Amino acid sequence: MECIEINLADCQNRFTCSAAIAKAEKIFGNKLKSGRTVYCAICDRLIRKEFRSAVRSFYHSKTLLVHPVHMDCVQDHTPIDDLLKNPQFIDMSALDFLDLVGLVDAVHQWKKKLNDNWH
């Protein structure tokens, strides 16, 4: 399975995480352009032209795996219940993951502002 590992420390905010995912997508795109075979991480079929990224995170892992997938093998705005069905890992679109990182970052910023105002 084709994947690029990203350390979760590199995903502290939406911007650094987006840059890491974009770098992975560029690597996959270059492989396709050079004629190398790239397989979809979800359906295991050959990717011919267009692809998008999916993110896989194993529970209790400190890394994130970015995979190339067919455009229709992963969807955006997946309900959280569907994401949590697998007891071993979560697969989601890169856009959903970036939204999640942005949400967590916003909560941390909000918490920090509250703490600063109380002191």
Structure tokens given for 85: 């069905």
What is the model's pLDDT at position 23?
Answer: 93
User: With contact defined as beta carbons under 8 Å apart, do 85 and 57 qualify?
Assistant: no
Q: If you ran DSSP here, which 8-state letter would residue 60 be given?
A: T
CB atoms within 10 A of CB 3: 16
For range 40-54, the mean pLDDT: 91
**For the whole prediction, is pTM greater than 0.85?**
no
Residue type at 16 in one-letter notation:
T
Highest mean pLDDT among 32-36, 83-87, 92-96: 32-36
Helix (H) or strand (E) run with residue 55 in it: strand 52-58
| Distances from the Cα of 12 to the Cα of 20, 33, 103, 106, 109, angstroms | 11, 31, 11, 11, 12
Distance of CA 16 to the CA centre of its chain: 12
Dig out the tokens for 56 from the structure.
Answer: 């896989």
Q: DSSP alpha helices (H): ranges in 2-93?
A: 14-33, 80-83
Mean pLDDT over the full length of the chain = 86
Residue 105 has pLDDT above 90, yes or no: no
Strands of the sheet containing 63-69, edge to edge, are 4-7, 63-69, 52-58, 89-93
**pLDDT (0 to 100) of residue 70:** 93
* Mean pLDDT confidence for 32-55: 92
